[in-house]
Structure 1
Amino acid sequence: MIRHVPRVRVALIAAAVAVLLGAVVAVAVGTSSSPPGRVPPARVLSAYETAAPGNAIDRDCGFSAPLPGSPGRLLWLFCDTVWEGDRPGLWLGTTAATGPAVPGRVPGELTELPTPHGDPHARPSHRRPGGRSPSEGRARPPQGMLAPPPGLVLPGGGTCQVPDVAYGASWASGAARPPGGDTLLITYTDVCVHGATISVQGFGVVGYRPGGNVLTGRTRLFSSPGGLPFQHNLGSPVFAGGHLYLFASVCDTSAFGICHGGRVTLARVPADPAAWRDPGAYRYWTPEGWTPDAAQARTVVVGAAPYLIHVADYSAVGQGLVMVEQRGLDGRFRLWRAPAPEGPWTAAGDRIVPCSGGSGLNQCRALIGHPALSTRDALMLSYYDPADRHINARAVPW
């Protein structure tokens, strides 16, 4: 799953806004005969960004999954988002957009998704005065998709919602389409961000039905005000063999921004909504079999050294399951392959993406693979580059 290395979001929002006000977004030049999107490497752009000079979006994450009922389209999920231009605003949590699924191409004009119906914790996105209605056309700015639940707390027990000091958020940690279903399953974590500290206090699932733009069955499965055990900090949902599989990771040994040793654990539950909304139905992998005790989970990837991971199924391009293991805060990563979630997982080479401009905790992050945009020759990988203050994507040869 993706766990954020924050850019000290609350404290730096004002600085981010100042930088973004002066940004001019470069728009790719194409022809009417060109396929949708841009040739990598390129920024992942929204139609809001390309609609007017000065429109810009600063956000991370960037998961994608096929959109049910819309062949050739993807749903994209992003995390904390600040946008500038003619309709500026921000959303601390998950935002979403849709765009074409063209292998080998980077989306250049994503359509931001209006806030779905059905979230029991819904609240409006913050938009500064003077902007036009955010519902206008494809060039609408981002809007909130998942609102944080009540009850997120600071270490002393006080509320996590303190202006300019701390905030709660629900961050997407992955998405996958259940076999034969008309919804997407989205996984997320509930976090309290206090300065440079992130406390992961909940994990949950929610369904998204594109027809009607509706969220369904939002369920918080695991929670702990003191912080979840990492085995419950789940993401990268994969459906296989009648089960839903989810991954978690932890770096146990690190130095100078590089992870030198850690664990990747695996949970599973029957691929049925009633089961994946039941915390008691989850089982965790051990060499001896599956256990209901998350604390007994053992690493499924021998030799792993993850700061962050993302797992997805690339069988359509002949690669099977692929794990992107971010090993450092400088863009280093390693690929792993396996025929099944339980493995065996085999290392497939070390790589690096060209990140720069990072400092403190604002480093290269959110290395996420995109099966629908990958080809038999290359993995499409997106990542947040602090120098560019943007999500970029590039084709990485297998």
Structure 2
Amino acid sequence: MRARVVAAVSCRLLAAWSCVLLAACLQPPAVTDLGRPVSEADTASNPISRDAGISAAWSVRESLWLFGDTSQRNGPAFLPGTTAAIGPYTRGVVPNALREVPTPPAPHSAGPSAPSPFLPQPRGLRASAELGCDGTSPYPASWPAGLARIPGTEQLLLVYAETCVFSSTDMRTQRLTLSVYDPSANLFRSTSTPFGALPLEAGLPVAEQLGSPVFGDDGYLYLFGHDVTTSKIIVARVAADPVSWGDPASYRWWSGTWNADPAAAVSIVSVPFAGSVHVADYTGLGAHRLAMIVQTEFASGRFQVFEATSPTGPWHRGPAGRVPDECGTTGYGCYALNGHAELSTPNRYLFSWYSPADLSGLGHLRLASVTW
């Protein structure tokens, strides 16, 4: 009898522990808020509000950060397009001593005490067949779509969208531009624009709105894109040299095979919503290789991380969750989710997002980490 009672109790305890273990497995991994990445110009008396927040290491010590539209008190109140900052990085740590980059080709010794325009302002964009996009409404903006270190160099490939901004809901990418940037000299060494809309005011097809450059070890440059309407996520490739990536005829899109027709591109992952997509190479961090973060719900900052060893996949689901943020109740809420390969560790994936409530409602980027 005693043996039967002990056995019964043991079975109940085992069942209880099984429930605990199952609950632990089903619980999403904790997302840790690490704080705000800032430059030395971002002070309590002169706060800076900025979004986008794409970064990449260009040397073993320093990385470059690209920001979208920037608001500030210590200078022009609003800078449309892209601003940049540069500075040291440490894995797992939020950068807090970035230096604002002056407008190229000014030397870094002339570094400003406030943000300055970084990418060239687009010329010749069209609001309509009759109206140019060169005023304040609509206005032209160069917005960052990705950057990556060019293998074997201390130069970066920057990808950006030349956009005519009509309103907060109508922003038409009219050209896609790739530039080789030398961070140490603050110079653009070359610039190519492989894709331009015809007519410009119609905007580029989604398949040509590419970003997140990744250099493969096979001699190709891979770029990724997404369609907010269909939640389709695509990949294209081109030979990894400026002559090729400047030639639209050299691009191929993945359709099960590499296809010259961008309309044939198929989705490489399945998600309920693709509000933003960022891909980078994490080779050297344990077993990690390529990682993609997708914002899977509008405004809330819900995300899904995928990993793969090849740009075409298969892409396997990694950690998922929600940014540690209330995200507000108006506008776009939380957005601009981007991974940071130079800050991540073998155990923690670091990413940033735009927090509308940060800086007492001015809005700013924040960094978070999640176990992977």
Range into which the TM-score falls when normalised by the shorter chain: 0.7 to 0.9
Cα deviation 1:118-163 (Å, max 9, x = unaligned): 9xxxxxxxxxxxxxxx988766211111122222122464122233
Q: Which residue is 1:7 aligned to? A: none
Once residues 362 and 386 of structure 1 are traced to their aligned partners in structure 2, the CA distance between those partners, rounded to angstroms, is 9
Q: Comparing 149-158 with 54-63, which one deviates more in the overlay?
A: 149-158
Equivalences for residues 304-343 of structure 1 within 5 A: 305-318=273-286, 319-328=288-297, 329-343=299-313
> Judging changes above 3 Å, is the alpha-carbon distance between structure 1 residues 103 and 360 closer, same or farther for their aligned structure 2 residues?
same
Once residues 114 and 349 of structure 2 are traced to their aligned partners in structure 1, the CA distance between those partners, rounded to angstroms, is 29
Once residues 346 and 157 of structure 1 are traced to their aligned partners in structure 2, the CA distance between those partners, rounded to angstroms, is 48
Does residue 1:355 correspond to 2:325, yes or no? yes
Q: Could you tell me which of 184, 195, 209 is aligned with 1:233? A: 209
Equivalences for residues 362-373 of structure 1 within 5 A: 362-373=332-343
Equivalences for residues 1-398 of structure 1 within 5 A: 41-50=34-43, 53-67=44-58, 70-85=59-74, 87-117=75-105, 140-155=113-128, 157-163=130-136, 165-196=137-168, 197-224=170-197, 225=200, 226-240=202-216, 241-252=218-229, 262-287=231-256, 289-303=257-271, 305-318=273-286, 319-328=288-297, 329-388=299-358, 389-398=363-372
Q: CA deviation at 1:374?
A: 0.5
Q: CA deviation at 1:303?
A: 4.5
Once residues 394 and 139 of structure 1 are traced to their aligned partners in structure 2, the CA distance between those partners, rounded to angstroms, is 28
Which one-letter code corresponds to 1:251 in the other structure? Answer: V
Once residues 76 and 167 of structure 1 are traced to their aligned partners in structure 2, the CA distance between those partners, rounded to angstroms, is 23
Q: CA deviation at 1:359?
A: 4.2
> Judging changes above 3 Å, is the alpha-carbon distance between structure 1 residues 60 and 239 closer, same or farther for their aligned structure 2 residues?
same
Once residues 285 and 268 of structure 1 are traced to their aligned partners in structure 2, the CA distance between those partners, rounded to angstroms, is 8
Larger CA Rg, structure 1 vs 2: 2
TM-score, normalised to structure 1's length? 0.78
Once residues 378 and 395 of structure 1 are traced to their aligned partners in structure 2, the CA distance between those partners, rounded to angstroms, is 6
Once residues 139 and 40 of structure 1 are traced to their aligned partners in structure 2, the CA distance between those partners, rounded to angstroms, is 29
Which one-letter code corresponds to 2:266 in the other structure? Answer: R
Once residues 122 and 244 of structure 2 are traced to their aligned partners in structure 1, the CA distance between those partners, rounded to angstroms, is 22
Cα deviation 1:330-368 (Å, max 9, x = unaligned): 110001111110100111232100233534433211100
Q: How many residues align?
A: 330
RMSD after superposition: 2.1
Query: 4+ residue stretches of structure 1 with deviation over 2 A?
Result: 87-90, 134-139, 302-305, 354-362
Once residues 284 and 212 of structure 1 are traced to their aligned partners in structure 2, the CA distance between those partners, rounded to angstroms, is 34
> Judging changes above 3 Å, is the alpha-carbon distance between structure 1 residues 281 and 354 closer, same or farther for their aligned structure 2 residues?
same
Once residues 303 and 294 of structure 2 are traced to their aligned partners in structure 1, the CA distance between those partners, rounded to angstroms, is 5
SS at match of 2:228: strand
Which one-letter code corresponds to 2:211 in the other structure? Answer: G
2:319/2:370 contact within 8 Å kept:
no
